[in-house]
Amino acid sequence: MAEPAAVPVAKAISRLLGWAYFLCWSGSFYPQPVSNWQRRSTLGLAIDFPTLNVLGFVCYTVSTASFLYSSTIRDQYAYRHPESPNTTTRFNDFLFAAHGAVMCVIIYSQFYPRIWGFRVGSRQRASQAVLSIFWACVLCILVVTLLAQFEGTDRGYDPASWAWIDVIYVLGYVKLLTVVVKYTPQAWVNYKRKSTQGWSIYTILLDFTGGWLSLAQLFIDSALQNDWSGVTGNPVKFGLGNITIIFDIIFILQHYVLYRHPAKSVEEEEEGEGDNDDDWAREREQLL
């Protein structure tokens, strides 16, 4: 039976939206490191943000690669979702994740003066709460991996019990958690400073656009399959789009409305802490 004439158009729109959100979200990684490079400083950027971003995007890369290229994961997904056996993960999802992982490592490395020579504030240290979340996520991934290996039927290859797809889902949820948590410290830093200086608004604008495009593609793909489990079966992509949009709205309000005219620059806020900055830089260099 021939498919309706609107279906090829919808598929073409889905592919277009996929690459459009990929370009927006991928492009959003560049304004912040470029801004840091131009200022020769990371002041204004909460280090918690890139710390969690590294973990999140590494997990997301493994997750999307598994859905695309692992026959085991695809078969287990089909078993868990018989009404919609084809995952909605696309190649642009994987490409975005892999590119993001590389860029996150670069941004995080800018907090090491020995590598870039940038000025790093004495208060730019990962919080204990974020470090606890970081290692708790790593522990959860390890626990589920061990469950799949030793508690799952056929060492994780039977999707009816603990299986390797559960590990992939945990990686996806870790990515989702890092998105929820990583924006909060930056929003709090902006609130305390009553300024968004040092935090690139262009990153947020591209992020905001990409979030809407990602959700649009996901809904079109689910509609084409005539089954909305394409959304529930891909909670990471659905959650990413929604959470990103919410936080982007907060940042846009902070930048253009609440803190449009900051009382002083981020450099002025750090004056008098030069000795602490030097001590912090030496501490980071000793870790390398």
pLDDT in tens, 70-120: 989 998 988 887 777 777 788 878 988 999 999 999 999 999 999 999 999
3-state per-residue secondary structure call for 145-189:
HHHHHHCCHHHHCCCCCCCHHHHHHHHHHHHHHHHHHHHHHHHHH
Averaged pLDDT, 120-136: 89
Task: Please provide residue 225's backbone torsions phi and psi, each rounded to the nearest 5 degrees.
Answer: -85, -5
pLDDT tens for 243-256 read 778 899 999 999 99
> What pLDDT is recorded for position 254?
95
Q: At 205, list the tokens.
A: 């604008």
Considering the entire predicted model, what is its pTM?
0.78
Residue 259 three-state SS: coil
Establish how many alpha carbons lie within 13 A of residue 37's alpha carbon, considering only the half-sphere containing its beta carbon. 8
> For residue 154, is it left (φ>0), alpha (ψ between -120 and 50) or beta?
left
**Nearest-angstrom CA–CA distance, 98 and 41:** 26
Other Cβ atoms less than 10 A from the Cβ of 166: the count is 19
